[in-house]
Amino acid sequence: MIKLFEYNWQVRKEWLDWCETVSMAELMKKRTGGIGYFLPTLYHIIAVEYGWICGGILEKEIDIPDFDDVAGVQQIKEFSERCHAELAPFVYGWDDSMADRIMIDITDEGEREPHTYAEVLSHVIAHEIHHIGQLSVWAREIGKAPVSANVVGRGLFGDVYD
């Protein structure tokens, strides 16, 4: 599970760097599917990861700014770094004995829903990968190469040729 978080963090950083090569008009142009925009989608990915882990599992008081308060590439990068610094110790401290621990989610309707930590972390990983696919489609629509979605070749598992 840790390697998939590292993958997501690496790809997210690459997408944020990619955004610096595109005009703000393109980043904020309405598109089909998902959140519908490049920057708000990246913001959403970060906010969801931070909310589930720090707010949900760790039960911390969390500060998620409104998108309008961080609506630039550099501000989204800083938001990502702040959230990453807070949740990474939990991810790197993961061991399989934590998988069946229960987190109680309070739904928008005020209902209490129990979820295992493994379910929540799996959801967060899949959620980001889903949205990264949308960014890739949108990138191709504007004639730009997307960030590679490959896990292979990213150095996450060491160099097998050593």
Give per-residue pLDDT as tens, 145-158.
999 999 999 999 88
The residue among 31, 61, 30, 64 whose CA lies nearest residue 47 is 64
The pLDDT score that the predictor gives to residue 159 is 65
Q: Write down the H helix ranges in 32-72.
A: 38-50
Q: What is the pTM of this model?
A: 0.94
What tens digit of pLDDT does each residue of 105-123 get? 998 899 999 999 999 999 9
Neighbours of 16 (CB within 10 A): 19
Q: Which two tokens stand for residue 152?
A: 């292979």
CB neighbour class for 61 (10 Å; exposed up to 12, middle 13-18, buried from 19):
exposed
